[in-house]
């Protein structure tokens, strides 16, 4: 089980700020995104704008293999506009 933290637009779409999910221990970042979208389909709208932070390190969605440990935190970080 991992902790998923939602920020900004992702929190609005998911309807919550954090939750615990059960996912495979070895999973690509894209597969992890797909698992999260199964639970919160509205998140699909921001798929091309999202970056993960896994154990506080940025990870792009793609084929990168993640080896997750129980209790790891995965943050969903949509782009933040500023000016």
How far is C-alpha 19 from the chain's CA centre? 11
10-65 pLDDT per residue, tens: 999 999 999 999 999 999 999 999 999 999 999 999 999 999 999 999 998 999 99
Q: Output the pTM of the full model.
A: 0.90
How far is C-alpha 2 from the chain's CA centre? 10
Report the CATH superfamily, name and number, of domain 2-77: Beta-grasp domain (3.10.20.30)
């Amino acid at each position: 089980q991992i902790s998923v933290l939602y920020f900004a637009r992702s929190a609005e779409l998911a309807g919550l700020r954090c939750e615990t999910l059960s996912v495979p221990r070895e999973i690509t970042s894209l597969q992890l995104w797909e698992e999260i979208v199964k639970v919160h389909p509205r998140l699909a709208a921001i798929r091309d704008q999202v970056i993960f932070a896994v154990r506080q390190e940025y990870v792009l969605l793609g084929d990168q293999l993640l080896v997750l440990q129980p209790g790891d935190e995965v943050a969903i970080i949509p782009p933040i506009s500023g000016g």
